[in-house]
Amino acid sequence: MAKIAFLGLGVMGYPMAGHLQAAGHDVTVYNRTPAKADKWVAQYGGAAASTPKEAAQGAEFVMSCVGNDDDLRAVCTGNDGAFHGMSEGSIFVDHTTVSAKVTHELFATAAAQGIAFVDAPISGGQAGAENGVLSIMCGGDQTAYDTAEPVMQVYSKICRRIGDSGAGQMTKMCNQIAIAGLVQGLSEALHFAEKAGLDGRSVVEVISQGAAGSWQMVNRYETMLDDHFDHGFAVDWMRKDLGICLDTANETGASLPVTALVDQFYKDVQKLGGGRWDTSSLIKRLRALG
């Protein structure tokens, strides 16, 4: 079993760190709000540290799941950042969805210190984290990935190295691009069913078994029909991710017209007060339009 530091105990990181401790690893956690770390220790055991540097000292693996590029830089290279406490030969695994730019930057900084850096964004939402069935898409050196993979398998159903540093983040962008279109399509289908006087549940029971079926349909249609949007990934975070996708598309020359449009639809949801609603709340915008 390994000595592990886990930085960031949000809705994803909290259960992920718990799975590691339950699997027999020696886990030290850090969270910007100490009370959350204390709650985690009371629930799972392990230990809490007051800074990322303290948490990382002596750890073979340091895992992070924080908010954005700036948050990741802070926990890695800030005054009390994890890189200052990590030993040569240790591995930093980042589960945050961030830009490939910051990933390349931190990969280089880590390499200069003899530390490996694996970008490993996740998909599967809060339920996936709680049930230990996340999809993890990774970038970085093969040797570092091979060493870290058994640790990540504790909370994943699939974990795969896609390529060199940044490839994991690029793959997560593909994931978010695909989800944006799927959720909008599902929202329009359910809204159309409502307007046509159809029973939405009966409609989905049939169409989910054919070519229209998707994870979003199976897992979100009931809460969408019930106007209930406190499940999973928040609109504010989705707009952050789609912003990364669109910025990267401008850099690479990719065309993302549907993604750009759905991003603006999520902006409308924010204006409705739905920044913390989950991403399936796109249907709220359609209902608001009449």
Calculate mean pLDDT across residues 29-55. 98
pLDDT at 224: 97
**Of 3, 101, 172, 284, which one is the catalytic site residue?**
172
Instruction: Walk me through the domains of the chain, giving residue ranges and CATH numbers.
Output: 3-164 (3.40.50.720), 170-289 (1.10.1040.10)
Per-residue pLDDT for 233 more than 90? no
pTM: 0.93
Q: Which residues pair with 26 in a beta bridge?
A: 3
Does residue 172 have an active-site annotation?
yes
- DSSP assignment, residue 155? G
Per-residue pLDDT for 278 more than 80? yes
For residue range 52-111, list pLDDT tens digits in order.
Answer: 999 999 999 999 999 999 999 999 999 999 999 999 999 999 999 999 999 999 999 999
Nearest to 74 by CA among 31, 108, 38: 31
Give residue 188's identity as a one-letter amino acid code: E
Average pLDDT score, the chain: 97
